[in-house]
Amino acid sequence: MIRKTLLPLALVLMALTGVSGCGLFGGDGDPAADAAREPSADSSARAAQQLPYDVKPLLHPAKKYFGVAVDGAPSSMKPVDAFAKTVGKQPNMVGSYSSWGDGFNAEGAQNVFEDGGLLYVSWEPFKPGLDKIADGSQDSYIKKFAASVRKTDVPVAISFGHEMNGHWYPWGTKDTTPRTFVKAWRHIHDLFQEEGATNVVWVWSPNVVNPVPTVQLKPYWPGDAYVDWVGIVGYWTTTGAHTFDTLYGPTRRQVATFTDKPVLISETAAEPGERRRADVRGLLGGVEENEDVIGFLWFNIPKRADWRIQSSPLALAEFKRLIADDAFGFEVPRS
């Protein structure tokens, strides 16, 4: 993989001003003026440094992200390649899960990037608790994680404490407060900035509000300066909503009252059953039709149900037909 570094300061100035190389690199110019133009040691060092990958072009893509989470990835890309062969298109986002205390999977991030995609990390703070993260006692771990992300120098999407509006995780409504969640989120974000780990797309990812209608999302919002995408977790189940609007609409409308950040369906799949083919059509059709929705990430792992798309031949055929549309998928730029 070829990466670009910054040009030396003199070359940058020459490119910006149109000055020919002869006056900058010696010749018949005034020695005093030449000495004044000589870059300092500090500026030369800054110019020689490679800035982190710029994620800004990834935030508002022209096409839709097509993501998948599969067992074994991203440490190995073979499961992703097998999935791609099954559905007829290579995903450009790969989902993964990381518990608090785990190191950053730098090799996995490189694997995904070299395959033309973006690694998506669901960072799960099972312990020691959001209060401990917010009060600074976990700073050494956060800084180490951030430094590894910075050093790896590929784009990474990070969703900290997903489904915070639910009661089923220790960082959810049962064991903590929105204020503590926001404080922890902002603290982590600020430490990443201090470490220069700006190659991160920050994804704030609540569960769909349907099962927890009394929990308001706005108190959990860290602020536009701290979030790049709104991720929405929502599965198509045999007993739940069966249209794109009834499943995701209530959440999207609530979110729209306090931010206009792009929306990613950050974790989803359709439960096996007679409606699965229609649910696949509803998901992909809804993502394609709604401009604010930039893509989806399919959970292709058997867990409490067989969410793998290949477990239902008719649903798989529908998935293959729809994902073949040019609206889905693109190669993440190398720099």
Q: Annotated active-site positions, please?
A: 163, 267
Q: Which helix (H) or strand (E) holds 312?
A: none
Name the token pair of 279. 């649910």
- The count of C-alpha atoms lying within 13 angstroms of the C-alpha of 108, restricted to the half-sphere facing its C-beta, is 24
Biggest CA-to-CA distance, the chain = 83
Residue type, 283: L
- Is-contact 121 156, C-beta < 8 A? yes
Going by C-alpha positions, the residue among 126, 259, 153, 137 that lies closest to residue 191 is 137
- Is-contact 261 270, C-beta < 8 A? no
Going by C-alpha positions, the residue among 99, 122, 96 that lies closest to residue 107 is 96
3-state SS of 45-102 is: HHHHCCCCCCCHHHHCCCCEEEEEECCCCCCCCHHHHHHHHHHCCCCCEEEEEEECCC
Q: Which residues contact 16 (CB under 8 A, 6 or more apart)?
A: none
- What residue ranges in the chain does DSSP mark as E strands? 65-69, 93-99, 118-124, 156-160, 200-204, 229-233, 263-268, 293-299
99, β-bridge pairs:
124
Cβ burial, residue 74 (10 Å; 0-12/13-18/19+)? buried
Strands 229-233 and 93-99: unpaired
306, β-bridge pairs:
302
